Amino acid sequence: MSLAFPETVPHDRAPDLLRDTLIRSVKATIIEAPTVRQHKLSNTEIAYQGFVLVRVQLENGVVGVGEASTLGGPRWAEESVESIWAAITHYLAPALIGQPAMHFEANAVRMGKAATRNFSAKAAVESALFDGVGHSLGLPASALLGGAVRDRIGVIWALASGDPVQELEEAREKLRLRQHKEFKIKLGFNTPEADIKRLQQLRSGLGDDVKLIVDVNQAWSEAQCIRLFPALDELDVALIEQPVPASQREAMARIAARTRIPLLIDEAAFTKEELASVAAIGCGSVYSLKLVKSGGLLELKRAAGVAQSFGIELYGGCLLESSIGAAAHMAVFSTLPKLEWGSEHFGPRILVDDLVEEPLVFEEFEIRLPQGPGLGIALDEDRVRAMARRK
């Protein structure tokens, strides 16, 4: 891995640099991006992905970009593209305009005072700040987060159409192209019996050497987990994500104690305080890191530290982000000393058209950390205009 860094900024330039990076404007745009196939979860399915694109313009003319992602409206979490746009436009932007963009911690405090939770909105704005400051300094965002320790990360692909014949064809093509060799199967939108039958077909068709992870999306009860987990064990499932509703933390802890398959904590913990709470009672042994849960790049790093302090392994989660949101996650993931389960940032590849000129690179079953200043990506303005929501 080779990362280039510019010369140190002279001390006598520091005051000018602060003025240059004052936040001039913060603007949000709702994007509707078609997907290449249906993507099903236990409570919804989508044929297009909703984003809020954030542009932060600095006093020096640099524009930083960030992205907020949702899944079919306020179903996965309480935010929707409409609420994210409103929170950014009416609350977060006024709190930040005129402030130095490079004062990341202070700006996070300002956003926290301006709006409670609204994690996806805050994460998109903070991503844009890191992108803008990175471009101003000629530094990658990872350098502003402590420096990268890896320049590529293994990437998992999700199978979520519900049709095992189509999913087998899809998975085999990913293997043939050497893009993905680990697969996460979305369960919970069918009966448990149908879920198990579909999983059996996938295991039989892909063979024993392929790693399978399942995401139940909070769809099963504790009793169903007790009954069904032995079948998952027989199918050599490597990891089970959020099998019961997020509010049933004690039930999840009891389930975790009964199975040898590690449980992946997702919706049960958004903030680092929630993570500490679920970790203390043993809800799982792996945690899904997501900007839409932590509310920013800095908080995402802190969440990783909390998880590791409890001996919990790390999984790079996603919410079907484009290359913009994926690059923001990669900036953080690249700086973590450990990322035991890799990431699942396949989002750019499920879109018919990405939002950037050069999408992130997938090769040899890994996703590469984008090179260049900031997040290392550049908007494709024609595609952004084409997919921007009309009034």
27 catalytic, yes or no?
Answer: no
391 catalytic, yes or no?
Answer: no
Catalytic residue, from 122, 186, 272, 293: name it: 186
Q: What is the 3-state secondary structure (H, E, C) of the chain?
A: CCCCCCCCCCHHHHHHHHHHCEEEEEEEEEEEEEEEEEEECCCCEEEEEEEEEEEEEECCCCEEEEEEECCCCCCCCCCCHHHHHHHHHHHHHHHHCCCECCCHHHHHHHHHHHCCCCHHHHHHHHHHHHHHHHHHHCCEHHHHCCCCCCCEEEECEEECCCCHHHHHHHHHHHHHCCCCCEEEEECCCCCHHHHHHHHHHHHHHHCCCCEEEEECCCCCCHHHHHHHHHHHHHCCCCEEECCCCCCCHHHHHHHHHHCCCCEEECCCCCCHHHHHHHHHCCCCCEEEECHHHHCCHHHHHHHHHHHHHCCCEEEECCCCCCHHHHHHHHHHHCCCCCCCCCECCCHHHHECCCCECCCCCEECCEEECCCCCECCCCECHHHHHHHECCC
Catalytic residue, from 126, 167, 170, 344: name it: 344
Residues designated catalytic: 186, 344
